[in-house]
A and B are shown apart, each in its own frame.
Chain A
Amino acid sequence: MNKVLEMRGIIKQFPRVLANDQIDFDLNYGEIHALVGENGSGKSTLMNILYGLYQSDGGEILVRGNPVQITEPRVAIDLKIGMVFQHFMLVEPLTVAENIVLGSELRKGPFLDYKQAVADVERLSKEYGLKIDPHAKISDLSVGLQQRVEILKALYRGAEILILDEPTAVLTPQEVDDLIEVLKTLRAKGTSIVFITHKIREVLAVSDRVTVLRRGKKVGTKATKDTNEQDLAEMMVGRVVLLRVNKEPAQPGSDVLEVKNLSVKDPFGNLRVNGVDLTVRSGEVLGIAGVEGNGQSELVEAIAGLQRAEQGTISLNGVDITNWSPLKIREAGFGLVPEDRHRRGLVLDYSVADNLILGLHGKTPFVHHVGLRHEAAIQANAEHLVEEYDIRPSLPHQLAKRLSGGNQQKVVVAREFTQNPKLLICAQPTRGVDIGAIEFIHQQVIKQRDQGAAVLLVSAELDEVLSLSDRVAVMYNGKIVSIMSAEEVTEHKLGYLMLGGRLEDYQGEGGNGHEN
Chain B
Amino acid sequence: MKTKLKAFPWQEVLIPIVAVFLALLVGSGFILLVGENPLMAYSVLFRESLGSTKNIATTLQRATPLIFTGLAVAFAFRGGLFNIGAEGQLYIGAFAAAWVGFTFDLPRLIHLPLAVFAGMVGGALWGAIPGYLKAKLGVHEVINTIMLNFIALFLTDWLATGPFHGGTWVPETARIKSTAALARLYPPTRLNTGIYLALVAALVAYLILWKTKRGYELRAVGLNPTAAEYGGINVARNTVIAMALSGALAGLAGTEQILGLHNRFILRFSPDLGFMGIAVALLGKNHPVGVVFAAVLFGALQSGSAAMDRLTAVPRELITIIQALIIFFVAAEYLIRKMLRLKEEA
Contact = CB atoms under 8 A, between A and B. Distances in A.
Instruction: State whether these chains interact.
Output: yes
Contacts of A325: 232, 234
Nearest to B342: A15
A361 B7 contact: no
Interface stretch (B10-18, B36-44, B89-97, B212-220): B212-220
A199 interface: no
Closest 10 CB pairs of A and B: A327-B232, A358-B231, A359-B231, A344-B230, A15-B343, A367-B213, A347-B224, A349-B223, A397-B4, A326-B232
B211 interface: yes
Given A325-B234, A359-B230, 13 more contacts: A326-B229, A326-B232, A327-B232, A330-B232, A336-B230, A344-B226, A349-B223, A353-B3, A371-B212, A375-B211, A399-B1, A401-B346, A402-B346
A371 B216 CA distance: 10
A145 interface: no
Contacts of A361: 213, 216-217, 231
A348 B7 contact: no
Most chain-A CB neighbours within 10 Å: which of B1, B217, B231? B231
Contacts of A399: 1
A31 interface: no
A397 B3 contact: yes
A99 B38 CA distance: 59
Given A15-B344, A351-B3, A397-B7, A345 B227 contact: yes
Contacts of B4: 397
A225 interface: no
A228 B212 CA distance: 54
Contacts of B224: 343, 346-349
B183 interface: no
A327 B231 CA distance: 7
Contacts of A344: 226-227, 229-230
Given A325-B234, A338-B230, A359-B232, A350 B223 contact: yes
Contacts of B343: 15-16
B307 interface: no
Interface in A248-296: none
B321 interface: no
B228 interface: yes
A266 B214 CA distance: 31
Interface string A386-411: 00000000000101011000000000
A336 B226 CA distance: 14
B3 A375 contact: yes
Size bracket, chain B contacts: 20 to 34
Contact of A347 (B1, B3, B223, B234): B223
Contact of A372 (B211, B227, B228): B211
B232 A371 contact: no
Most chain-B CB neighbours within 10 Å: which of A330, A354, A399? A354
Contact of A306 (B1, B230, B346): B230
A373 B343 CA distance: 32
A371 B214 contact: yes
Contacts of B346: 15-16, 401-402
Interface string B180-217: 00000000000000000000000000000001111011
Interface in A340-378: 343-351, 353-354, 358-359, 361-362, 367, 371-373, 375
A13 B223 CA distance: 30
A348 B231 contact: no
Contacts of A16: 343, 346
A267 B217 CA distance: 25
Contacts of B223: 347-350
Contacts of B344: 15
10 contacts: A325-B232, A336-B230, A347-B223, A347-B224, A347-B227, A359-B232, A361-B217, A373-B216, A397-B4, A397-B7
Contacts of B217: 361
A304 interface: yes
A237 to B, nearest CB: 25
B9 to A, nearest CB: 11
Interface in A103-154: none
Nearest to A354: B216
A375 B5 CA distance: 14
A306 B234 CA distance: 11
B230 A351 contact: no
Nearest to A353: B3
A134 to B, nearest CB: 40
Contacts of A371: 212-214
A476 to B, nearest CB: 26
Interface string B215-256: 011011001101111111110000000000000000000000
A375 B231 CA distance: 19
A373 B229 contact: no
A353 B216 CA distance: 12
B271 to A, nearest CB: 35
A347 B232 contact: no
A330 B231 CA distance: 9
B297 to A, nearest CB: 26
A502 B295 CA distance: 69
Contacts of B214: 371
Nearest to A343: B226
B227 A346 contact: yes
B81 to A, nearest CB: 16
B10 to A, nearest CB: 15
Contacts of B213: 361-362, 367, 371-373
Most chain-B CB neighbours within 10 Å: which of A325, A367, A371? A371
Interface in B6-33: 7
A188 B1 CA distance: 56
B230 A350 contact: no
B228 A347 contact: yes
Contacts of B1: 351, 397, 399
A358 B234 contact: no
B230 A345 contact: yes
Contact of B211 (A358, A373, A397): A373
A156 to B, nearest CB: 36
A372 B208 CA distance: 8
B250 to A, nearest CB: 23
